[in-house]
Amino acid sequence: MFSNLSLGQYIPAVSLIHALDPRGKIIATFMLMLAVFQAGFSQQLAVLCVLIIILILLSRVNIKMYFKALKPFALIIVITMIILLWLTPGNIRFEFVNIRITVEGLVAAASLGIRFTILLLLARFLTLTTSPMAMTDAVERLLKPLRFLGFPVHELAMIMNISLRFIPLFFEEADRIRKAQLCRGANYQEGSLKQRIKKLRSIVLPIFKISLQRADELATAMELRGYQGGKGRTQLNVLRFHWRDFIFLGVLGIILLFIMF
């Protein structure tokens, strides 16, 4: 159940994409995401698809790992596509009993399906090729100007870092507790919705207890090692833009400008 989730998973590999500065990757991903929203359902979207395939291949991460990200959202995408297909008015292409499929409906459903898939693949591209540590460093650096407005940039980055680090552990714990309760005859798949929610108490309560305990221990351990927030704290890995980052962002920017305008 929980073990199949691969949220925020990073796959180390030797590739051009892995070697890029994480700030560059975040900027590139956001640029591509904006382009996906802006692109019309035409050659623009097709070129974007090709671009994303090239990026995926350059990352040298098994393609299966990318498509794993789509699995949890597949049902939502398909249902939304069906609704669009069913409800969009226009020129009728096919007709069965009471269901009318229009050309506009087909275009809207395909467009949404493709855009949704690309967005998920892009998010996956960023997390699969960027370690959580690098990601939070990059977020901290990118949001640095907001510090002057009193925004707690370092604290936000630290929260992100800890969350990314502990999400897999949280799911592992949840899986262990679930198995332990299964061993005591718990059955989470039978009964009414109310009964099932009530049964979840045997997983949720221990998980809360463990999480709070872990958070408390972590906070104490950080304080004991002199952590007092971002003020006066230096960084071990200072991020630096290299020529490859400028080339990557430059080439991508030119392609996107060319596609969009």
Q: Which of 93, 209, 233, 242 binds another protein (CB under 8 A)?
A: 209
**Using the rule CB under 8 A, is 182 a contact of another protein?**
yes
Q: Smallest distance, Å, CB 103 to another protein?
A: 40
Give, as ranges, the residues between 10 and 39 that touch another protein (CB under 8 A).
11, 13
**Using the rule CB under 8 A, is 185 a contact of another protein?**
yes
Query: What would the 3-class secondary structure string for the chain be?
Result: CCCCCCCCCCCCCCCHHHHCCHHHHHHHHHHHHHHHHHCCCCHHHHHHHHHHHHHHHHHCCCHHHHHHCCHHHHHHHHHHHHHHHHHCCCCEEEEECCEEEEHHHHHHHHHHHHHHHHHHHHHHHHHHHCCHHHHHHHHHHHCHHHHHHCCCHHHHHHHHHHHHHHHHHHHHHHHHHHHHHHCCCCCCCCCCHHHHHHHCHHHHHHHHHHHHHHHHHHHHHHHHCCCCCCCCCCCCCCCCCCHHHHHHHHHHHHHHHHHHC
Residue with Cβ nearer another protein (205 or 257): 205
**Using the rule CB under 8 A, is 71 a contact of another protein?**
no
Stretch that binds another protein, among 74-82, 119-127, 157-165, 203-211 (CB under 8 A): 203-211
**Using the rule CB under 8 A, is 7 a contact of another protein?**
no
**Using the rule CB under 8 A, is 196 a contact of another protein?**
no
**Using the rule CB under 8 A, is 65 a contact of another protein?**
yes
Q: Smallest distance, Å, CB 3 to another protein?
A: 9
Residue with Cβ nearer another protein (17 or 157): 17
**Using the rule CB under 8 A, is 198 a contact of another protein?**
no
Q: Which of 38, 62, 195, 235 binds another protein (CB under 8 A)?
A: 62
Q: How would you classify the pairing of strands 92-96 and 99-102?
A: antiparallel
Which residues contribute to the site for another protein (CB under 8 A)?
Answer: 11, 13, 61-62, 64-65, 173, 176-177, 179-187, 189, 201-202, 205-206, 209-210
